[in-house]
Amino acid sequence: MTTSVQVKTHLNYINGEWVSSLRNKVGAAINPANKNEIVGYVQCSTGEDVDRAVAAAKRAQKEWRRLSGAERGDYLYKIANSLERRLEEVAETMTREMGKTFPEAKGETMRGIAILRYYAGEGMRKVGDVIPATDSKALMFTTRVPLGVIGVISPWNFPVAIPIWKMAPALIYGNTVVMKPAQEAAVTAAKIMECMHEAGIPAGVVNMVTGAGSEVGTAIVNHSDVNGITFTGSNATGKQIGQAALARGAKYQLEMGGKNPVIITADADLDLAVEGTISGGLRSTGQKCTATSRVFVQAEIYDAFKEKLLEQVKEITIGNGMEGTSWMGPCASENQMKTVLSYIEKGKAEGARLIYGGERYTENGGENGFFVQPAIFEEVTNGMVIAQEEIFGPVLALIKVESIEEALTQANDVEYGLSASIYTKDIGTMMSFINDIEAGLVRINAETAGVELQAPFGGMKQSSSHSREQGQAAIEFFTAIKTVFVKA
Ligand SMILES: NC(=O)C1=CN([C@@H]2O[C@H](COP(=O)(O)OP(=O)(O)OC[C@H]3O[C@@H](n4cnc5c(N)ncnc54)[C@H](OP(=O)(O)O)[C@@H]3O)[C@@H](O)[C@H]2O)C=CC1
Ligand SMILES: O=C(O)CCC(=O)C(=O)O
């Protein structure tokens, strides 16, 4: 097990400098695999710290937007190189701070590097179109301008990838940023800022203020000089942010929960389906908005699928994510663990049959961490809470269906619409799934999780504010279009 990361007090990053919060108070970040281990200390900031960061971002924006896309891209390449040099350290910090296994944390950090390089390249791509004017002597075209200052509010479940997939496009299109990471992932976020600093990004272009969402997050959302807010997290918080932004006329983008289904048809490759269900539902301890949570299985193969699934889930090793033997780490916090355990209790109380796991895991030193065994329920009906609400934990609900139509109807019968997958060999079934499933991310013979950085990402229904992040879709949020008519 590597233990190279020093425990230190991380400061806010404002106007190119590392500064304490004006309140001068810090909070300890603890390891969810061992609550006695402190990973670092982070600032518990106030609205006044946000004011300073926003003022710095506003000042820096004029110069930053004047640079060419290629010049801004050069900074992103340098940030990517710095993150690459610190890959192991950042990944280890992530594992120790929020629990995901080291290989997953490393994979996520590499994804962050790839996102930075992708958007660095975007600085050289077209930003507008020439549109024929009705006047033959005129030239009409569109161009794009940055929004100004962007508030980035990010969650703890992807501490590197999510802040980067919000900040990199914001920056490349000429915006400046004030970032508030989840307090539970703020040490890892500070490492990203260190990479930005190392890359020599001009003072004020990127700023980070850590602290409670109810204080720091709210201050960003309500600040009149923050022109756009991009958020990933819970529906309750997302809706509040959307309403507050709308009330003062700021642009907003919300990525929220999921209750993602997988359908296993009678002709599915069962080994592949079991592998995808386990990986989609239980990797990262189920703490992905794209995690599989409802498993619709056709009656003909239900028993065979269940047997294989149970066989393999029993093999899952739980433990500290820094141990090479651990397949699944802890929940990210005590609160998250309690939420998951309470959903498991609700499932039992509502009459679903728990056929595997679902207890707090306390073996091999686990009593000091926030571990939960994977839980597999069957006899779940669509009206149950565990079939409707986002659990964000390692819980799978098996639902037996007679037909693909029944599976589709039930799969759509939730308020969310983020991702969905089907395992089938039949092209007709694939086509009806693509057409009829209500989800922004549709996957065939592949797990529900797994977002490609170059493709649009976002959900339908209550899963998002109906916008898309990542890939070239990001330009829609981070810029405004100007239509220009030139008459010589
Ligand atoms: N879609 C997804 O990827 C995610 C979904 N979730 C869902 O949300 C549940 C709860 O997780 P939780 O961490 O509480 O999620 P939140 O939505 O509360 O947190 C997400 C981010 O928003 C910040 N925040 C909280 N309240 C406000 C506010 N009033 N104004 C502005 N920003 C705010 C948080 O800060 P801080 O936490 O530092 O106070 C954090 O940075 C999970 O169980 C899961 O179901 C959670 C994370 C990611
Ligand atoms: O599935 C993924 O890779 C991304 C998931 C995600 O965006 C999230 O959980 O917030």
Q: How far apart are CA 167 and CA 176, in angstroms?
A: 9
Mean pLDDT of 300-311: 98
Residue 214: DSSP 8-state: I
In percent, the amount of the chain with pLDDT more than 70 equals: 99
8 Å CB contact between 365 and 351? no
Mean pLDDT of 7-26: 97
In percent, the amount of the chain with pLDDT more than 90 equals: 98
pLDDT in tens, 432-477: 999 999 999 999 999 999 999 999 999 999 999 999 999 999 999 9
Residue 122 confidence (pLDDT) above 80: yes
Instruction: Note the ligand closest to the C-alpha atom of 216.
Output: 1
pLDDT of residue 376: 98
Q: How far apart are CA 449 and CA 288, in angstroms?
A: 8
Task: Tell me phi and psi for residue 185, to 5 degrees.
Answer: -135, 20
Categorize the per-residue pLDDT at 5 as very low, low, confident or very high, splitting at 50, 70 and 90: confident
**Ligand 1 residue neighbourhood (C-beta within 6 Å):** 153-157, 180, 182-183, 212-214, 217-218, 221, 232-234, 237, 240-241, 255-257, 289, 336, 339, 390, 392
Going from the Cα of 238 to the center of ligand 1, the distance in angstroms, rounded, reads: 8
CATH number of 9-256+464-487: 3.40.605.10
Going from the Cα of 406 to the center of ligand 1, the distance in angstroms, rounded, reads: 34
pLDDT in tens, 75-100: 999 999 999 999 999 999 999 999 99
pLDDT of residue 488: 87
Q: How far apart are CA 319 and CA 329, in angstroms?
A: 5
The domains of the chain are located at 9-256+464-487, 260-452
Q: Which two tokens stand for residue 41?
A: 């200390």
Mean pLDDT of 314-335: 98
pLDDT of residue 1: 55
Q: How far apart are CA 89 and CA 74, in angstroms?
A: 24
Is position 255 annotated as part of the catalytic site? yes
What is the biggest distance separating any 2 CA atoms in the chain, rounded to whole angstroms?
78
Categorize the per-residue pLDDT at 398 as very low, low, confident or very high, splitting at 50, 70 and 90: very high
What single letter denotes the amino acid at residue 31?
A: N
Going from the Cα of 342 to the center of ligand 1, the distance in angstroms, rounded, reads: 18
Candidates 94, 232, 283, 289: which one to mutate for ligand 2, based on the most atoms within 8 Å of Cβ? Answer: 289
**Ligand 2 residue neighbourhood (C-beta within 6 Å):** 157-158, 162, 232, 288-290, 449-451
Pairing of strands 9-10, 34-43: parallel
Going from the Cα of 333 to the center of ligand 1, the distance in angstroms, rounded, reads: 13
Pairing of strands 375-378, 395-401: parallel
Q: How far apart are CA 366 and CA 344, in angstroms?
A: 19
Q: Which two tokens stand for residue 397?
A: 């609900």
Indicate if ipTM > 0.90: yes
pLDDT of residue 364: 87
Which one is catalytic: 255, 390, 438, 447? 255
Residue 3 confidence (pLDDT) above 80: no
pLDDT in tens, 200-226: 999 999 999 999 999 999 999 999 999
pLDDT of residue 4: 65
Q: How far apart are CA 424 and CA 411, in angstroms?
A: 16
Q: Which two tokens stand for residue 28?
A: 């300890």
8 Å CB contact between 165 and 453? yes
8 Å CB contact between 20 and 43? yes
Candidates 49, 165, 223, 237: which one to mutate for ligand 1, based on the most atoms within 8 Å of Cβ? Answer: 237
Element (H, E) at 193: helix 186-198
Q: Which two tokens stand for residue 53?
A: 């960061």
Pairing of strands 206-208, 138-146: unpaired
pLDDT in tens, 183-192: 999 999 999 9
Q: Using CA positions, which residue lies closest to atom 10 of ligand 2? A: 289
CATH topology of domain 260-452: Aldehyde Dehydrogenase; Chain A, domain 2 (3.40.309)
pLDDT of residue 2: 52
Q: Which of 64, 73, 57 is nearest to 16 (CA)?
A: 57
Across the chain, what does the average pLDDT equal? 97
pLDDT of residue 203: 98
The separation between CA 347 and the C-alpha centre of its own chain, rounded to angstroms, equals 26
